């Protein structure tokens, strides 16, 4: 079947229609042409005082399609008699349609339907109550059609937004600025909606609840739904998206008008989570479709010149206010509706002020990030969104290494949670396959894996293994390291030590940048009666101020430790899984083979899972001696999450992407710091970067660093601080971070420096 867009409307004059009305239906009267995008519609004022609508269908709409629409209207009238849809008036012979040949010879099906009173609404004049009822009526129509099916519903129609990507073929018709905006809408649709579309609830829908197809009374109550010409089998939520797009386009406050429409719809038919998540993109896809189709028709059909430019204006408004903000706005509107089941989100929504007060009351003074704390409600990729709908670039959190809420990882977790959650004392493929995958990719000759819940636990277990293997208790870390929150790993984390705390069994090494004092520190430990058991190093030296890689320093320190009979533990909790840009692990490029590797943070992309990888001769005696077991470590759910993450890292080549985007961002930051006296050196390794903030004399300036971090938060970019003086800006975004994201981070940092001024 030919796409109806490629052919003009029926070439049937009012005179021809009047003659057919008399010849076929035995009715005479005056005809007035009504709105119709593809079909011809005539209001019939019969001589006997009755009114009808004579509909001349598009010649490309087959008899099966017309039959589908006829049966659908009858079905709706039976299922929900309160919905005001027309009724087909049969010919005297009982037929539900006739045929007419246009002046160009094309044949069209013709139908006579009952006339519905009322007037087309003025969208700017609709209050929230009317908008609510519009949404509710749309849902009722979808509900009435959910039991209806017809084979013709599978025909292709461009007004089905599932075909949004195909609009690319006509983008050359648009002006450059319009084309750029429509193309961006299509790109986002392809990225966010296409992978989810087939999983959305689907059925035959009306697909065109726009102001031209709706009639209202003087109180703006819907009294007529006049056109079933765009019916198709597609995602149910498209009905709501079309209604919002058409009404919002005709209002200056269109985005605000959407919320009551969503609420009305959800009170009749609650949206599922996936439907709510893509609703904004579907709205914009409808607007983009209208822009492209309208432009095409203007070029090919004279009657289309009167079609409005409102959809392009809507796209521009959304661009200005942010599509992400609209997405949050609509999603929150769906979730606020009393009809929505939120079993997957059992907590209740609270205002930011109430939430902050409650947190203080029940959690105490646990630190919050930023002077003005963030109330976050959702995330995606490198972006976080607050309760007000504002989008932030997350250039700080290294846990979601594959990007926040990566759909493949989330889907794997959800699927496994519905299937089986148990521990490693039962046979299961997930933990065995994950261990095999990790050892296959591990640096050196490691042969065993122990699963735990966090990087802290992994380092804690590594301490226990090292002490058992060596019989010693002395430990070495860098001077401002961080390795965890357990009793043992707090001792390995001088970054967290309270004033005056200095466990005598822990030696502190000067980090890269100065002389390697490993031999001297080891001698001191031995003199104090603590023979060395292990050296723990984060090879990015993140907490020390982002000082890695430092391969020479590391080689010397490891050699000194092994010369004293101790082991080397490579802590990959911060740099692992591709962040360095040099493969999965930060240690790999050093040529040093660790005795143990500890993993955590990014391993599950947000799900708590961690591991110790070690030589078999170290692990086997430890397990035999202690009977080591972790209830949740290595659970089927945790290992499934980690397997999914590992697969994503490799399939999406995140290490390679980290190298490229990290190098690009480094270059941009070098340009920024060159313009500002308060900025010192920039250091980077893949996608972990540090920027020194200094006073005019070159000394650390932690106050200015904190001000910059908070100013960046106000500008929509999240970063942190690190280093012994807390004067190093720490930038470590998810590895899906792009060059465009880097440009925004650099631009905002430049602005932050400029706003705060120089010292």
Residue 124 DSSP class: G
- Interval 555-574 mean pLDDT: 96
**Cis preceding linkage at 549, omega within 30:** yes
Say whether 685 sits in a helix, a strand or coil: strand
User: Is 366 or 636 the better-scoring residue by pLDDT?
Assistant: 636
Is the sign of the CA dihedral 609, 610, 616, 622 positive or negative?
negative
pLDDT digits (tens, 9 = 90+) for 586-628: 999 899 999 999 999 999 999 999 999 999 999 999 999 999 9
At 528, the pLDDT band (50, 70, 90 cuts) reads very high
Instruction: Answer for the pair 329, 389: CB distance below 8 angstroms, yes or no.
Output: yes
**CATH domain 410-651 topology:** 3.40.640
Question: At residue 394, what are phi and psi to the nearest 5 degrees?
Answer: -90, 100
Q: What is the assigned CATH class of domain 350-402+653-759?
A: alpha beta
User: Is 489's pLDDT higher than 80?
Assistant: yes
- Interval 76-98 mean pLDDT: 89
User: Is 303's pLDDT higher than 80?
Assistant: no
**Superfamily classification of domain 123-336:** Aminoglycoside phosphotransferase (APH), C-terminal lobe (3.90.1200.10)
At 567, the pLDDT band (50, 70, 90 cuts) reads very high
- Interval 26-32 mean pLDDT: 89
pLDDT digits (tens, 9 = 90+) for 8-17: 778 888 889 8
Give the whole-number percent of the chain exceeding pLDDT 90.
Answer: 62
Nearest to 269, CA basis, from 205, 174, 337, 316 = 337
How many Å apart are CA 624 and CA 630, to the nearest integer? 15
User: Is 55's pLDDT higher than 90?
Assistant: no
Residue 544: the pLDDT is 96
- Interval 98-104 mean pLDDT: 86
Instruction: Answer for the pair 68, 152: CB distance below 8 angstroms, yes or no.
Output: yes
In the chain, domain spans: 4-114, 123-336, 350-402+653-759, 410-651
- CATH code of the domain occupying 4-114: 3.30.200.20
pLDDT digits (tens, 9 = 90+) for 128-151: 888 988 999 999 999 999 999 999
Distance (Å) of CA 163 to CA 150, 172, 189: 20, 17, 10
Residue 302: the pLDDT is 54
Say whether 398 sits in a helix, a strand or coil: coil
Residue 523: the pLDDT is 94
How many Å apart are CA 580 and CA 658, to the nearest integer? 7
End-to-end CA distance of the chain: 71
User: Is 1's pLDDT higher than 60?
Assistant: no
Residue 96: the pLDDT is 85
- Interval 740-756 mean pLDDT: 92
Residue 757: the pLDDT is 67
DSSP 295-364: HHHHHH-GGGGG---HHHHHHHHHHHH-HHHHHHHHHHHHHHSTT---TT--SPP--HHHHHHHHHHHHT
User: Is 304's pLDDT higher than 70?
Assistant: no
Query: Which uninterrupted H or E stretch holds 536?
Result: strand 532-537
pLDDT digits (tens, 9 = 90+) for 462-482: 999 999 999 999 999 999 999
Mean pLDDT score of the chain: 90
User: Is 171's pLDDT higher than 60?
Assistant: yes
Nearest to 25, CA basis, from 128, 97, 104, 83 = 97
pLDDT digits (tens, 9 = 90+) for 203-255: 999 999 999 899 998 888 899 998 888 899 999 999 999 999 999 988 887 67
pLDDT digits (tens, 9 = 90+) for 395-438: 999 899 999 988 889 889 989 999 999 999 999 999 999 999 99
The yes-or-no answer to whether 4-114 and 410-651 have a common fold is: no
User: Is 451's pLDDT higher than 90?
Assistant: yes
Nearest to 539, CA basis, from 530, 548, 552 = 548
User: Is 338's pLDDT higher than 90?
Assistant: no
Instruction: Answer for the pair 726, 482: CB distance below 8 angstroms, yes or no.
Output: no
Global confidence as pTM? 0.64
Residue 2: the pLDDT is 47
Least confident of 271-275, 457-461, 593-597, 668-672: 271-275
> Tokens 């109180």, residue?
219
- Interval 279-298 mean pLDDT: 90
523 by Cβ neighbours in 10 Å (0-12 / 13-18 / 19+) ranks as middle
User: Is 307's pLDDT higher than 70?
Assistant: no
């Amino acid at each position: 079947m030919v796409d109806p867009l490629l052919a003009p409307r029926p070439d049937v004059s009012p005179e021809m229609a009047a003659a057919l009305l008399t010849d076929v239906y035995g009715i005479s009267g005056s005809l007035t042409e009504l709105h119709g995008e593809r079909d011809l519609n005539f209001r019939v004022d019969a001589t006997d005082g009755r009114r009808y609508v004579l509909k001349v269908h598009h010649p490309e709409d087959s008899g099966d399609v017309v039959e589908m629409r006829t049966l659908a209207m009858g079905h709706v009238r039976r299922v929900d008699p309160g919905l005001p849809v027309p009724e087909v008036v049969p010919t005297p012979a009982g037929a539900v349609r006739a045929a007419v040949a246009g002046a160009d010879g094309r044949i069209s099906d013709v139908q006579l339907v009952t006339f519905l009173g009322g007037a087309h609404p003025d969208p700017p004049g609709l209050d929230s109550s009317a908008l609510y009822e519009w949404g509710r009526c749309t849902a009722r129509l979808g509900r009435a059609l959910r039991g209806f099916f017809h084979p013709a519903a599978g025909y292709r129609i461009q007004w089905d937004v599932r075909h949004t990507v195909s609009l690319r073929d006509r983008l050359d018709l648009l002006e450059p600025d319009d084309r750029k905006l429509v193309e961006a809408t299509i790109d986002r649709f392809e990225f966010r909606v296409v992978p989810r579309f087939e999983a959305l609830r689907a059925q035959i829908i009306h697909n065109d609840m726009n102001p031209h197809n709706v009639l209202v009374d003087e109180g703006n109550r819907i009294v007529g739904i006049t056109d079933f010409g765009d019916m198709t089998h597609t995602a149910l939520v498209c009905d709501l998206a079309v209604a919002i797009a058409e009404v919002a386009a005709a209002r200056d406050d269109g985005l605000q008008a959407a919320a009551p429409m969503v609420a009305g719809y959800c009170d009749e038919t609650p949206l599922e989570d996936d439907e709510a998540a893509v609703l904004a993109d579907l709205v914009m896809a409808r607007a983009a479709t209208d822009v492209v189709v309208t432009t095409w028709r203007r070029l090919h059909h004279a009657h289309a010149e009167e079609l409005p430019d409102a959809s392009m204006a809507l796209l521009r408004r959304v661009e200005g206010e942010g599509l992400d903000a609209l997405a949050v706005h609509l999603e929150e509107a769906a979730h606020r509706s009393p009809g929505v089941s939120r079993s997957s989100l059992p907590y209740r929504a609270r205002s930011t002020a109430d939430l902050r007060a409650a947190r203080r009351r029940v959690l105490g003074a646990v630190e919050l990030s930023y002077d003005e704390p963030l109330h976050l409600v959702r995330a995606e990729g490198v972006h976080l969104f607050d309760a007000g709908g504002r989008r932030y670039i997350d250039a700080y959190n290294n846990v979601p290494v594959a990007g926040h809420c990566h759909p493949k990882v989330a889907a794997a977790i959800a699927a496994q949670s519905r299937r089986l959650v148990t521990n490693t004392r039962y046979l299961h493929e997930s933990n065995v396959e994950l261990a095999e995958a990790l050892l296959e990719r591990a640096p050196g000759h490691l042969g065993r894996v122990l699963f735990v819940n966090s990087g802290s636990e992994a380092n804690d277990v590594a301490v226990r293994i090292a002490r058992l293997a060596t019989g010693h208790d002395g430990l070495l870390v860098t001077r401002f390291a961080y390795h965890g929150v357990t009793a043992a790993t707090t001792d390995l984390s001088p970054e967290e030590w309270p004033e005056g705390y200095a466990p005598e069994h822990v030696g502190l090494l000067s980090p890269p940048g100065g002389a390697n004092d490993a031999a001297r520190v080891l001698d001191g430990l031995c003199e104090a009666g603590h023979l060395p058991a292990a050296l723990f190093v984060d090879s990015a030296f993140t907490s020390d101020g982002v000082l890695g890689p430092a391969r020479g320093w590391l080689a010397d320190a490891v050699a000194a430790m092994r010369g004293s009979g101790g082991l080397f533990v490579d802590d990959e909790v911060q740099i692992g899984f591709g962040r360095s840009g040099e493969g999965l692990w930060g240690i790999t490029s050093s040529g040093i083979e660790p005795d143990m590797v500890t993993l955590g943070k990014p391993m599950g992309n947000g799900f708590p899972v961690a591991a110790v990888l070690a030589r078999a001769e170290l692990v086997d005696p430890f397990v035999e001696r202690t009977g080591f077991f972790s209830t949740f470590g290595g659970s089927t759910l945790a290992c499934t999450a980690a397997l999914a993450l590992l697969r994503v890292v490799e399939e999406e080549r995140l290490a390679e992407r980290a190298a490229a985007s990290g190098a690009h961002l480094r270059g941009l930051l070098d340009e920024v710091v060159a313009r500002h006296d308060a900025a010192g050196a920039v250091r980077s390794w893949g996608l972990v970067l540090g920027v020194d903030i200094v006073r005019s004399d070159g000394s650390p300036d932690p106050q200015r660093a904190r001000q910059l971090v908070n100013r960046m938060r106000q500008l929509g970019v999240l970063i942190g601080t690190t280093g012994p003086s807390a004067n190093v800006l720490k930038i470590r975004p998810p590895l899906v971070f792009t060059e465009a994201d880097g440009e925004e981070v650099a631009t905002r940092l430049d602005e932050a420096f400029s706003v705060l001024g120089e010292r």
